[in-house]
Chains A and B, each alone.
Chain A
Amino acid sequence: MTSSEVLAGRVSRESAFSRRLQFQRQVTYLLLLLPTLLMLIVLFVYPILRLLVTSVYDGHQLTLEHYRRIVEVDLYVRVLSTTFTIAFQVTLICLVLGYPLAYFLATLRPRTARLLMILVLIPFWTSILVRTYAWMVLLQRQGVLNRWLLEWGLIDEPLRMMYNRIGVLVGMTHVLLPFMVLPAYAVMRGIDRNLLRAAANLGASPFHAFLRVFLPLSLPGVAAGSLLVFILALGFFITPALMGGRTDMMIAQLIETQIRTQLNFPFAAALATVLLVVTLVIFAIYNRLLGLDKMFGGGY
């Protein structure tokens, strides 16, 4: 054998070996993912796809009937607009409450901030059903809040704080606030404190330093938080169902009614598709403007 033949033989053996290694690695990956993949496909993806198909296919032909109904019937248009309005209002309230909170946490020493962050996270980890019932106890007609207000003579008769928009907003804000605070906090933590010093050194008052430097740099976090809150609010069910007014229905409730009481699966599927598409569109816009990869900090 010449030396080049020896070399060629070694190269082919080597590449065969590395191919086998790579194959083994791929098999391993597949085995690791298989249980979850199987479960998702069988129990989730396939049924969902079937359901979505029923929204445009009545067994014989393609139809947009169900979608036409959504935009033509006043009730359904109102549900859509209520959904967006509530989602928007909740986002706004979360922003107003969450920004100062995140700012406060971001200015603390990391250790203290982590401790206080637990206070934000405990409700985050508590069941949403428990929290909603807790709010009902507080806000109902004979609830804790009304009793206090009456006792102190601040009001003459109980306020209606439930089964209307107020109840929904309070309940949803409470559940969704952490989704605003966490990304906002993460981005604010990442802002170099020297930038604020530089601003002060260059003649900016604390207010101007905040307005011109901190605020713009914190916007990616605020945008991420707002996006999360808005999207989660769009599909909210438990809180509006338990605390909302009869006329203040959101899209998730409508879907539930269609399935449980009307047994109108195709129409429910059409509504669900609308919700899904709107959510994806918002994500796409966000990705275009800010980039989803920057959602949790590392903006610049």
Chain B
Amino acid sequence: MVTARTTTVEQSTASLGARLQLIELTKVYGEVVAADRVTLDIAPGEFITLLGPSGSGKTTTLMMVAGFVIPTAGRILVNGEDIAFRPPHKRNIGMVFQNYALFPHMTVAENIAFPLKMRKWRRDEIARAVKEVLQLVRLPGFEERYPRQLSGGQQQRVALARALVFRPPVLLMDEPLGALDKKLREEMQLEIKHIQESLNITTIYVTHDQEEALTMSDRIAVMRDGRIEQAGTPRELYERPVSEFVANFIGESNFIVGRFERRDGRGYLVTDDGWQIAIQISEDVSPGERVTIALRPERIVLGEERGDNRTLATIEEIIYVGEATKFRVRVTGDRVLSIKQPSRSETMRFRRGDRVPISWRAEDAVVLRARK
């Protein structure tokens, strides 16, 4: 059959990831704006994560791309073609569901063959594709098992295989690792990432787990109240968060509020009680403006005075978490700061109640956008 062969060829060329653009995508339920002008330009083969707490609109956005939620406004372009109002079964987008959604009455092979049967592939081509994709997810020989006979991790792999077998240009994943234990989750993160890279498939991944997002993503879009708060590479988000929300959602941060001042070509944050903190000059803020700075706990050095900012602190709490030790210290004006240090002998010698110097460099503090 010539037609079937053509389909295969088309499918395999289409396996090069598509460019996916979400333009002002909006969903309103009555009074609630579940997704508010979500705009993202996702490059072919890019792995982007929608990260946010529950109710932030990440799942709604994903469901609009999949076609299960009809947008109130906005466009969804796949290689320039608007699919926003196309029924889900005509979108050719792969998806891994939160609970895997494997068909319980079908074997692994039948589950994986399902999308190919719907596309009227030839039987021998289906058999070959199923075999190949099971190799890819490292489950060869599992064809005849039923989903209930598989472990959570294996079901996860089957779900992934089923979403990939028809070579969709876009893959959606809705908290796919939520049900797995920590160790397996970390393994699967890397494995999914490798498979995604090898197929170069454009991927939107939804999670509320910031570590997962950092590990897997080329780019992360942090969502809050239906809006994208900030989108950028994991490093950008961690090092240059634009808001308190992002700085807190990805990693931890200390926040200090004050006025921005410039003196002798250097920038300072001056708190209401007169504490002067050297910070980098930001072009976004003008002198006198109120700003918040975010300071990562691990950027503060405990027991050494080698940064632009030095002060004395009293240790109030010490929490040993294995590879690192967390300290809660009290500084000027009854402020409490979190500090995180690698667990080395130098840091282990501190005791609660000790009065020790702490320091950090000006560039370690991030000036956040003024809050609306």
A residues with CB within 8 A of B: 192, 194-195, 197-206, 208-209, 212-213, 216-217, 300
Distance between Cα atoms of A133 and B119 in the complex (Å):
55
Most buried by A among B91, B94, B118: B118
21 A-B pairs within 8 Å (CB atoms) are namely A192-B99, A194-B97, A194-B98, A194-B99, A195-B104, A197-B88, A198-B103, A199-B103, A200-B88, A201-B66, A201-B93, A201-B94, A201-B95, A202-B114, A202-B118, A203-B89, A203-B90, A203-B92, A203-B115, A204-B118, A217-B104
1/0 per residue, CB under 8 A from A, across B105-122: the answer is: 100000000110011000
Interface residues on B, range: 20 to 34
- B195 proximal to A (CB < 8 A): no
- B166 proximal to A (CB < 8 A): yes
1/0 per residue, CB under 8 A from A, across B154-166: the answer is: 0000000010001
A200 touching B162, Cβ below 8 Å: no
1/0 per residue, CB under 8 A from A, across B300-343: the answer is: 00000000000000000000000000000000000000000000
B105 touching A200, Cβ below 8 Å: no
B residues with CB within 8 A of A: 66-68, 87-95, 97-99, 101-105, 114-115, 118-119, 148, 162, 166
Distance between Cα atoms of A202 and B99 in the complex (Å):
16
Most buried by B among A203, A209, A217: A203
Most buried by A among B67, B89, B99, B162: B89
Distance between Cα atoms of A212 and B103 in the complex (Å):
10
Task: Tell me the dominant secondary structure on chain A's binding face.
Answer: helix
Chain B contacts for A212, CB-based, 8 A: 114
**A44 → B minimal CB distance (Å):** 41
Chain B contacts for A199, CB-based, 8 A: 89, 103, 114
A200 touching B103, Cβ below 8 Å: no
Task: Tell me the dominant secondary structure on chain B's binding face.
Answer: loop
Most buried by B among A200, A202, A205, A208: A202
Distance between Cα atoms of A84 and B7 in the complex (Å):
52
**A7 → B minimal CB distance (Å):** 42
Q: Look across to chain A and name the residue whose beta carbon is closest to the beta carbon of B147.
A: A300
A201-B148 contact given A194-B99, A194-B101, CB 8 Å threshold:
no
Chain A contacts for B166, CB-based, 8 A: 202-203
Number of A-B contacts (CB under 8 A): 63
Task: Point out the residue from A192, A194, A205 that lies within 8 Å of B89, measured CB to CB.
Answer: A205
**B186 → A minimal CB distance (Å):** 25
Q: Apart from A202-B115, A300-B104, what are 10 other A-B pairs with CB-CB below 8 Å?
A: A195-B103, A195-B104, A197-B97, A200-B88, A203-B92, A203-B166, A204-B114, A209-B89, A213-B103, A217-B104
Distance between Cα atoms of A203 and B95 in the complex (Å):
11
**B99 → A minimal CB distance (Å):** 6
Distance between Cα atoms of A198 and B106 in the complex (Å):
13
Chain B contacts for A300, CB-based, 8 A: 104-105, 148
B101 touching A197, Cβ below 8 Å: yes
Chain B contacts for A200, CB-based, 8 A: 67-68, 87-89
Chain B contacts for A208, CB-based, 8 A: 118
Chain B contacts for A198, CB-based, 8 A: 95, 97, 101-103
Chain B contacts for A201, CB-based, 8 A: 66-67, 88-89, 91, 93-95
Distance between Cα atoms of A58 and B95 in the complex (Å):
72
Distance between Cα atoms of A5 and B216 in the complex (Å):
65
Distance between Cα atoms of A192 and B93 in the complex (Å):
21
Chain B contacts for A217, CB-based, 8 A: 104-105
Across the A-B interface, the 3 shortest Cβ-Cβ residue pairs: A203-B118, A202-B115, A300-B104
Chain A contacts for B114, CB-based, 8 A: 199, 202, 204, 212
Most buried by A among B68, B91, B166: B68
Distance between Cα atoms of A199 and B111 in the complex (Å):
10
Distance between Cα atoms of A202 and B66 in the complex (Å):
10
**A285 → B minimal CB distance (Å):** 21
Distance between Cα atoms of A244 and B162 in the complex (Å):
56
Distance between Cα atoms of A217 and B104 in the complex (Å):
8
**A105 → B minimal CB distance (Å):** 22
Distance between Cα atoms of A140 and B346 in the complex (Å):
100
Most buried by B among A200, A216, A217: A200
Task: Point out the residue from A203, A206, A209, A216 that lies within 8 Å of B119, measured CB to CB.
Answer: A203
**B179 → A minimal CB distance (Å):** 13
**B162 → A minimal CB distance (Å):** 7
Q: Look across to chain B and name the residue whose beta carbon is closest to the beta carbon of A220.
A: B105
**A193 → B minimal CB distance (Å):** 9
Most buried by A among B98, B102, B148: B102
Q: Look across to chain B and name the residue whose beta carbon is closest to the beta carbon of A212.
A: B114
Distance between Cα atoms of A206 and B101 in the complex (Å):
17
Chain A contacts for B105, CB-based, 8 A: 216-217, 300
Chain B contacts for A192, CB-based, 8 A: 99, 101
